A and B are shown apart, each in its own frame.
Chain A
Amino acid sequence: MSFLHRLRKLFHRAAAETELEREIAFHLEMETRALERTGLPADAARREAMRQFGGVHRAKEECRDAWSIRLIDTLRQDLSYGWRGLRHNPGFAIIVILTLALGIGANTAIFSVVNGVLLRPLPYAEPERLVSLTQSASKTGQSSIGFSVPDFMDFRARNRGFSAMSEYHSMSFILLGGAEPEQVQTGVVSDNFFDLLGVKPILGRTFRPGEDKPGAEPVLMLSYHYWQTKLGGDRSVIGRVFQMNNKPHTVVGVLPPLPAFPNENQIFMPASACPFRGSPDVLTHRTARLLSNVFARVKDGVTSVQAEEDARRIGLELCSQYPESYPTNDGYSVGLSSVARAFTGNARAGLLLLLAMSGFVLLIACANVANLTLSRLLRRNREFAVRLALGATRGRIVRQLLTESIMLASLGGAAGLLLANLGVRGLLIYAHRFLPRADEVGLDGSVLLFAVIVTLFTALLFGSRVRFPADGDVVGALKDGSRGTALAHSRFRALLVIGQIAVSVPLLVGAGLAAHHLYNLQTVDPGINTSQVVAANIALNWTQMDTFDKRFAFWNHVVEEVRALPDVDSVAVSGAEPLNGLTNYTSNFRIEHQGSSAEGASPHAIILASTEDYFKTVGEPLVRGRYFNHGDAHTSPAVAIINQALANHYWRGEDPIGRRITFDNGQSWVVVVGIVANTHQRLDADTLDELNIPLSKTDGLIGATVLARTHAPPDTFAKVLRQVIHHVDPNQPITSVETLAQVRQGLLAPPRLTTTLLVLFALVALLITAAGIAGVLAFSVSQRTQEIGIWMALGATRGSVLWVVARQALILVGIGLLVGTIGALFVCRYMQSMLYGVPAIDMITFTVVIAILLLVSTLAALAPARRAASISPVLALRMT
């Protein structure tokens, strides 16, 4: 009943107000009459009645308090007050909203990426129990040597800590039966792979037990993406038969949308369907480590430490049982890594850095808004004093101020969300290629929640420092604006500015370090010609190109055809794309007449295979000896060309030419015939030891890069190159054709994005901080106008007044810099592993950052300082 009563009052405000008015008027009238009866004259009686009643306004206010469902009602009132206040002061509102929008927008955008990439749960059952096993040979720098089929069988049979285990590798096959022959990336897995992950098909079924056994009928599962884009989401696809590797394969199921893990597979097949996996060599040879991953689910009640111990035990057993098959001298070990962790990969550190930095921007923005709010508050002090005198309660005023803060923050948050949405879209267009799970990035519930929390947090942060004249001091406040509180506030505002500067330093340093890193990557001379060399990546059709002879003939044929083109200076085939994939394969070897070095690890190097003109084509100069030539055929004695780094490393002071090395412990020997100059195999690493072998001595390579050096414009030549390769054999798919300069640019994309964002954050921070400094100084000058006037009247020069103000700025900046530098050192340490060629404490960056901050704060101090210096002593003194 009473609730209804309140509601009625709430909705019939106008009526309730008149009733209250009439009720009080009636009381006053009655009282006046009573007093008149005691003999007072009419107007004296009226005055006395008013006096006895006390504050009519306060009474009314308290009556209203009694009626309403306070929250809603005062909120409504506060909102309309707040709105009116902001409309009176649109400049303030716009600046605050913009500042907050930038801060909140940056945070929300970065958070939505972090959310999609790092935080969203993986679409697997109990993903925290999913692990990937690795075999590694750590002393040779190989973090993963893969698994052979016998390895996998033993791990699966002997383990006690895992409830399921599946092999995995990914290959590219030609799929026939669609509109046209198509290259499909295929995940090759055990029959229990999807059960292990806990993935249910959206159509059909997953693989059945036994479907990965030799002789089983080949079946396929389609990825959601492939089903949607290539088959138009056709629901009758189950049972459809495609030709692959000269065998019919039946589609049995369609997968739900899944992240591209561990590779971007378009379809999946059971292990037995892969012709490569099924070859007798692969099935029996313990060192044929074709399988790239083994996935497993840790048993319930088994800790990850116990599971890892279990896997290690099996590794040790295998080592002692088959010592010749495991590289025990090279630090062979078995390890477990969490699948969840594998997902985020390299993106994690960079994203967390960006999130932290955007958080800093928000902090700085909040400090500024707090500053603005405070100075507005001081200007409104008189207003508050009047309202207090008229009977407003302090709580009521605090609440109204808080409402205003929340209003501003909400508007800022809404604008920020808009900004974030645009930002994320822009970011994804650019970052899609190199961000894992980029498809899952977007503004979802948790992002919205994040934005709301950040918004409220900012509102509280800048709205909480509210002070007014104490009740007793209302009169003082009415008389003399704001003196006392202004002093207390100005100390707090100085602290805010120091905080802004302190937070700006790590931001600027972070941006500086990233920029320095990017600069290094951009300017590093890899030692090869990138502008005139066009690279075409080709993945051969495995079934057609099933022998060395066929593959080798194909590559030679391409080389001949391309060489015949008019604009070609030189052409070669390489096992990997320069700058991009050269470090993918490393191997151990032994040097004749040299024991293993003291640490017990055998020499190891990047192994590269190429045809004879490779070095000429990419412009890698020969130091000594000779290049590969026509005589280095499949059946000729094996030869190798090493780089200068390797020569210096293992033949200090000796001549390596003519010396022999072995990869198989002396069963066969390779003669060093040449030394080439050092070049960068990667942009972000110094030259590594490198050992080149002729393509003729490999297995013929199923995938390779055709490199052609041309004096024609590279863009037009790229088209010609594509046509020529297509002409040699149209069934061999070309995955990309680009110049090495373009390859290089592509590799720069991720660091460029990180740097751009960090620099953007730093600029925003700098701008906001400068505004903060200028604001505080301007306020302090306006507070000290009289004081400055007196100085000047006593003979202070303009210069000394300028200096007083500038000194104030410098003190703030100095303290801020000191605190900020400590924070920046942490940033340095965190970023160290992400940077190339940047020293641990980068003096260049620090110097530039400090210089920029000093310069900017001096500029920010300029306007207020000049205003101080132009104060007229006469006018200033008259103000008293």
Chain B
Amino acid sequence: MSNSKSELLQGTLDLLILRTLAVNEAMHGWAISQRIAQLSRDALTVNQGSLYPALHRLEAQGLAKAEWGVSENNRQAKFYSITRAGRKQLGDETESWLRFSEAVGLVLKASG
């Protein structure tokens, strides 16, 4: 695997998925993986295998909901969309994530 791409930190995948769902209509898993790669300009590799457990986890926690629908190529697919609880969670998480990354950045710059 390429070293120029960053592995995802534990827990950040959920955040990225919520973010992606928040600004889009209902999406299926593959589309979500594509969108995340695209948004991060391919800098983040989403391990596709771990995308689905994350989606199922969000669904089980009530942060996302899923429905079966018909895809753009006319196939049965499971579409995920964000819930009200998901939006709230996204807000909280985004804020703390920004604070966290800002802090890490400060530390790194100071010591560098």
Which A residues form the contact surface with B (CB < 8 A)? 1-2, 5-6, 9, 19-20, 22-24, 26-27, 29-31, 33-34, 52-56, 58-59, 62-63, 65-67
Contact = CB atoms under 8 A, between A and B. Distances in A.
Contacts of A31: 30, 48
Given A26-B71, A27-B29, A27-B30, A66 B53 contact: yes
A65 B50 CA distance: 12
B48 A27 contact: yes
Contacts of B75: 26, 29
B45 to A, nearest CB: 9
B49 A54 contact: yes
B52 interface: yes
A23 B60 CA distance: 16
Contacts of B30: 26-27, 30-31
Interface of B: 28-30, 33-34, 47-50, 52-53, 56-57, 59-62, 68, 71, 73, 75-78
B42 to A, nearest CB: 13
**Residue from the set A2, A22, A27, A62 with the largest chain B CB neighbour count within 10 Å:** A27
A557 to B, nearest CB: 95
Q: Report which residue of B52, B68, B75 has the largest number of chain A beta carbons within 10 angstroms of its beta carbon.
A: B52
Contact of A53 (B28, B48, B56, B73): B48
A644 B41 CA distance: 113
Given A2-B62, A62-B53, 4 more contacts: A5-B60, A5-B62, A52-B48, A59-B52
Nearest to B63: A2
B35 to A, nearest CB: 13
B29 A23 contact: yes
B95 to A, nearest CB: 23
A63 B77 contact: no
A29 B49 CA distance: 14
B75 to A, nearest CB: 6
B70 to A, nearest CB: 11
19 contacts: A1-B62, A22-B78, A23-B29, A23-B52, A26-B30, A26-B71, A26-B75, A26-B76, A26-B77, A27-B48, A30-B73, A31-B30, A31-B48, A54-B48, A55-B49, A58-B49, A59-B50, A66-B57, A67-B60
A66 B60 CA distance: 7
**Top 7 closest pairs, chain A to chain B, by CB:** A54-B49, A62-B53, A66-B56, A2-B62, A30-B30, A66-B57, A59-B49
Contacts of A55: 49
A2 to B, nearest CB: 4
Contacts of A23: 29, 52, 77-78
A66 B66 CA distance: 14
B50 A54 contact: yes
A56 B50 CA distance: 10
B53 A59 contact: yes
B22 to A, nearest CB: 19
Contacts of A2: 60-62
Nearest to B45: A52
Contacts of B77: 23, 26
A5 B48 contact: no
Pick the most buried of A34, A53, A56, A66: most chain B CB atoms within 10 A of its CB.
A66
Contacts of B33: 27
Nearest to A56: B49
A5 B28 contact: no
Contacts of B62: 1-2, 5
A856 to B, nearest CB: 55
A279 B30 CA distance: 106
A40 B56 CA distance: 31
A5 B59 contact: yes
A24 B78 CA distance: 10
Contacts of B34: 34
Contacts of B49: 53-56, 58-59
Contact of A62 (B28, B50, B61): B50
Contacts of A5: 59-60, 62
Nearest to B47: A54
A20 B66 CA distance: 12
B34 to A, nearest CB: 8
A26 B33 CA distance: 13
Nearest to A2: B62
Nearest to A52: B48
A20 B29 CA distance: 12
A19 B60 contact: no
A30 B29 CA distance: 10
A12 to B, nearest CB: 14
Contacts of B48: 27, 31, 52-54
Contacts of B59: 5, 66
A27 B28 CA distance: 9
Given A19-B78, A29-B75, A30-B30, A24 B60 contact: no
A26 B52 contact: no
Contacts of A22: 76, 78
A1 B73 CA distance: 32
Contact of A26 (B28, B53, B57): B28
A22 to B, nearest CB: 7
Contacts of A34: 34
A62 B54 CA distance: 9
Contacts of B50: 54, 59, 62
A695 B49 CA distance: 102
Residue among B30, B56, B75 with most chain A CB within 10 A: B56
B76 to A, nearest CB: 7
Nearest to B62: A2
Nearest to B46: A52
Contacts of A54: 47-50
A802 to B, nearest CB: 56
Contacts of B52: 20, 23-24, 27, 59, 62-63
B9 to A, nearest CB: 17
Contacts of A67: 56, 60
Nearest to A24: B52
A31 B77 CA distance: 14
A23 B68 CA distance: 10
Contacts of A58: 49
A58 B47 CA distance: 12
A632 B50 CA distance: 109
